[in-house]
Chains A and B, each alone.
Chain A
């Protein structure tokens, strides 16, 4: 098996680029907490409304700088009253579903969470700009999928 000299140059360049990409995302993810949404918590999908924190959905202040937002996704909307959160504070979103798979996606942010019944998806995000942000479902969930949306106000 024989590689042409130029092919060696090309593959080295390619492999080094890939290693650089991986290092950039890996370091940023694991040392600066930029991992994608996820989490290992489970929940009974039929008992969501009785299980904390989803028995009391909406915004709760955890401490000075941290807020938690609990949201229940269901066909075709979100059970999340009064979504108002402050700018510059860490917001921890916790989302689950009572029926099929949905997403909880806030336009123009890094919040793009898959919502799977039986599981709780978590994502921490800090808003930098005040305003009203569109929230929508981008995982197909049925006839009303394209209507499934709400809004969050950042003040």
Chain B
């Protein structure tokens, strides 16, 4: 099977949304502590 096509078969939209949830946790926690750092 052609690689492009196998991508097409695999519907990973849920995965994309889920990893972005992880990304948001990372960014939010980091920014929170960064702001605490700046405030001290």
Contact = CB atoms under 8 A, between A and B. Distances in A.
Interface of A: 2, 4-6, 9-10, 13-14, 17, 21, 24-25, 108-110
B32 interface: no
Contact of B16 (A2, A10, A21, A108): A10
B12 to A, nearest CB: 5
Contact of B40 (A14, A17, A108): A108
Interface of B: 3, 7, 10, 12-13, 15-16, 19-20, 23, 26-27, 30, 34, 37, 40
Given A6-B16, A13-B23, A110 B7 contact: no
Contacts of A109: 40
A154 to B, nearest CB: 14
A64 B26 CA distance: 43
Contacts of A4: 7, 10, 12
A107 to B, nearest CB: 10
Given A14-B23, A110-B37, A9 B30 contact: no
